[in-house]
């Protein structure tokens, strides 16, 4: 299905360059408002309403105002919550019975990028037909409803507190975190005033890092995409564990007391293995990037596994299709649909901590010996629209590498859904062979796009 503006996770780009400009975002808000208004069934005299949250990027102020203007012009009311994690917007949209939730964030990207992503009234990503309806309206002339029908805006001041209580409710009532010292890295992002409070209120001693946003330091050397800062802080503070979120707090990485890093595949396994002790687990959905070791470890537990396209929205879609509850990506998006409708870094961390409290021991012991296969990922800059699938040089290099690895490895080439990059991934049992194969493929791609 071809989209002009929407990628795998909303609309994203560099601020000041199309499409992340004030005029486009206002038209996006207007088009979204019209699409939602047409679908809303409201009592007489009432208007649809949406929730708008954002992360800590400086550009969030500008884009928030543009979105608010577009929705108001379409006759849609707006509830503003300020900086708040992406999964918090999903939760509050559902809890407040609103028509949609909108997040202004570029997730793990640098501060000079930003984006707009949407949630449905149920706290899930918008269906394809709604996204396509919004796209169709963006390039149409923008007008305005009658003055008496313009949307109003109000601020929800207790939104952080509501979300903190929701997060705590996903942790077992008979457990607590007393006696644990936890370093929480908020990536100078949307969870800076949320995550430390959640773990503290459950009894942990909390050391916060990456919790002083200034509009330009989001994801800068901290957070789930730069876990070195967390490892150093855990060791320096002699903490029991470390939790790293990304800029909008929907990704998770964790570190144990010895500084060992655990990614999304390992943390998902810890959660599922714990759930399996309580009853049957229908199955788990990963992505094309999920480590082969996780698939095989789940097989040993008798738990089915399926791969979706890369992107948490596709994991959610496959979970819904199969009627399963658990899934995720190695990047740290972890879905536990028995706790939340979308990937949530704080909630996922609480599920791992609950499993750890119930089982005792260390995080490494909780994984039951799961050892990930070496995996090498290289991002190669790619001109948008370049036909890499049809390039003979890339095809020849791919065939050679696959033949050499055989059953002992796996290769994946895919274009990023959010950046002009071709992701080259090689995975296998031998780290030397994996790294050599990845470099060989990346070199072939670079030669083709020159």
For position 330, what pLDDT does the model report? 93
- Could you tell me if 71 and 29 are in contact, meaning their C-beta atoms sit under 8 angstroms apart? yes
Q: Which two tokens stand for residue 314?
A: 């596709």
- Could you tell me if 197 and 141 are in contact, meaning their C-beta atoms sit under 8 angstroms apart? no
- Could you tell me if 99 and 36 are in contact, meaning their C-beta atoms sit under 8 angstroms apart? yes
- Terminal C-alpha separation, the chain: 29
3-state secondary structure string across 201-220? HCCCEEEEECCCCCCCCCCC
- Could you tell me if 412 and 437 are in contact, meaning their C-beta atoms sit under 8 angstroms apart? no
Residue tagged 């060791």 (tokens): 235
Whether 375-449 and 162-260 are alike in CATH topology: the answer is no
CATH, domain 262-366, list 3.40.120.10, 3.30.465.10, 3.30.420.40, 3.20.20.140: 3.40.120.10
Q: Which two tokens stand for residue 332?
A: 């740290």
Distance CA 383, CA 23 (A): 26
Comparing C-alpha atoms, which of 314, 266, 308 is closest to residue 289? 308
- Which long-range contacts does 64-67 make (Cβ < 8 Å, 24+ apart)? 64/104, 65/22, 66/22, 66/23, 66/25, 66/26, 66/29, 67/25, 67/26, 67/28, 67/29, 67/102, 67/104, 67/116
- Could you tell me if 211 and 188 are in contact, meaning their C-beta atoms sit under 8 angstroms apart? yes
- Could you tell me if 229 and 237 are in contact, meaning their C-beta atoms sit under 8 angstroms apart? no
Interhelix angle 345-359/264-276, rounded to 10 degrees, is 50
Distance CA 77, CA 355 (A): 41
Residues contacting residue 142 through CB under 8 Å, at least 6 positions apart: 26, 27, 30, 70, 73
Give, in order, the Cα–Cα distances in Å from 135 to each of 73, 76, 95, 130: 17, 18, 27, 9
Q: What is the pLDDT along the chain (450 residues), one digit of tens a residue?
A: 567 899 878 999 999 999 999 999 999 999 999 998 777 677 777 889 999 999 999 999 999 999 999 999 999 999 999 999 999 999 999 999 999 999 999 999 999 999 999 999 999 988 888 889 999 999 999 999 999 999 999 999 999 999 999 999 999 999 999 999 999 999 999 999 999 999 999 999 999 999 999 999 999 999 999 999 999 999 999 999 999 999 999 999 999 999 999 999 999 999 999 999 999 999 999 999 899 999 999 999 999 999 999 888 899 999 999 999 999 999 999 999 999 999 999 999 999 999 999 999 999 999 988 989 999 999 999 988 899 999 999 999 999 999 998 888 899 999 887 678 999 999 998 999 999 999 999 999 999 998
Is the four-CA dihedral 132, 133, 134, 137 of positive or negative sign? Answer: positive
> Taking the model in full, what pTM does it have?
0.91
To the question of domain 162-260 being in CATH 1.10.260.40, the answer is no
Residue tagged 């503003």 (tokens): 80
CATH, domain 11-157, list 3.90.1150.10, 3.30.70.920, 3.40.120.10, 3.40.50.970: 3.40.120.10
Domain ranges of the chain: 11-157, 162-260, 262-366, 375-449
- Could you tell me if 185 and 203 are in contact, meaning their C-beta atoms sit under 8 angstroms apart? no
CATH number of 375-449: 3.30.310.50
Task: Give the helix, strand, coil percentages of the chain, each rounded to 5.
Answer: 40, 20, 40
Q: Please give the full DSSP string across 393-412, using - where no structure is assigned.
A: HHHHHHHHHHHHHGGGEEEE
What is the edge-to-edge ordering of all strands in the sheet holding 252-256? Answer: 205-209, 181-185, 241-245, 252-256, 261-262
For position 418, what pLDDT does the model report? 67
For position 358, what pLDDT does the model report? 95
Q: Which two tokens stand for residue 182?
A: 């936890």
pLDDT in tens, 150-168: 999 999 999 999 999 999 9
Is the four-CA dihedral 303, 307, 311, 317 of positive or negative sign? Answer: negative
Distance CA 342, CA 298 (A): 22
Q: Which two tokens stand for residue 174?
A: 């008979």
Cis amide prior to 270 (ω within 30 degrees): no
Residue 25, φ and ψ in degrees, nearest 5: -65, -35
- Could you tell me if 76 and 33 are in contact, meaning their C-beta atoms sit under 8 angstroms apart? yes
pLDDT in tens, 113-151: 999 999 999 999 888 888 899 999 999 999 999 999 999
Distance CA 436, CA 325 (A): 37
Please give the angle made by the CA atoms of 236, 242 and 247, to the nearest 5 degrees: 115
Q: Annotated active-site positions, please?
A: 107
């Amino acid at each position: 299905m071809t989209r002009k503006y929407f990628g795998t996770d909303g609309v994203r780009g560099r601020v000041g360059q199309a499409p992340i400009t004030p005029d486009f975002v206002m038209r996006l808000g207007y088009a979204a408002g019209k699409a939602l208004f047409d679908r809303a069934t409201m009592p007489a005299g009432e208007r649809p309403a949406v929730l708008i949250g954002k992360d800590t990027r400086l550009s969030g102020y500008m884009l928030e105002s543009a979105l608010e203007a577009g929705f108001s012009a379409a006759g849609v009311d707006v509830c503003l919550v300020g900086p708040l994690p992406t999964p918090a917007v999903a939760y509050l949209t559902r809890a407040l019975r609103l028509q949609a939730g909108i997040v202004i964030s570029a997730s793990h990207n640098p501060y000079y990028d930003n984006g707009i992503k949407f949630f449905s009234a149920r706290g899930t990503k918008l269906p394809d037909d709604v996204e396509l309806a919004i796209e169709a309206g963006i390039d149409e002339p923008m007008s305005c409803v009658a003055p008496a029908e313009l949307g109003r805006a109000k601020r929800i001041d207790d939104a952080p507190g509501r979300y903190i209580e929701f997060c705590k409710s996903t942790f077992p009532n008979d457990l607590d975190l007393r006696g644990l010292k936890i370093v929480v890295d908020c990536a100078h992002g949307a969870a800076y005033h949320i995550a430390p409070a959640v773990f503290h209120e459950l009894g942990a001693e909390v050391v916060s890092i990456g919790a002083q946003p200034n509009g330009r330091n989001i994801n800068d050397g901290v957070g789930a995409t730069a876990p070195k800062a967390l490892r150093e802080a855990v060791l320096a503070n002699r903490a029991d564990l470390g939790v790293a979120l990304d800029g909008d707090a929907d990704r998770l990485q964790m570190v144990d007391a010895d500084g060992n890093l655990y990614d999304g595949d390992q943390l998902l396994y810890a959660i599922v293995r714990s759930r399996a002790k309580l009853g049957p687990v229908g199955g788990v959905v990963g992505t094309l990037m999920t480590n082969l070791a996780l698939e095989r470890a789940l097989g040993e537990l008798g738990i089915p596994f399926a791969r979706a396209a890369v992107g948490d929205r596709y994991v959610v879609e496959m979970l819904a299709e199969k009627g399963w509850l658990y899934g995720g990506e190695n990047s740290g998006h972890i879905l536990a649909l028995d706790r939340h409708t979308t990937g949530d870094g704080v909630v996922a961390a609480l599920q791992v901590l609950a499993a750890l409290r119930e089982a005792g021991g260390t995080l490494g012991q909780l994984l039951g010996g799961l050892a990930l296969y070496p995996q090498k990922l290289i991002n190669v800059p790619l001109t948008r629209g370049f036909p890499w699938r049809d390039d003979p040089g890339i095809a020849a290099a791919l065939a050679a590498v696959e033949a050499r690895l055989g059953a002992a490895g796996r290769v994946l080439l895919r274009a990023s859904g959010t950046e002009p990059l071709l992701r080259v991934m090689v995975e296998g049992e031998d780290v030397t062979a994996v790294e050599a194969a990845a470099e060989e493929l990346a070199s072939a791609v670079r030669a083709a796009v020159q």
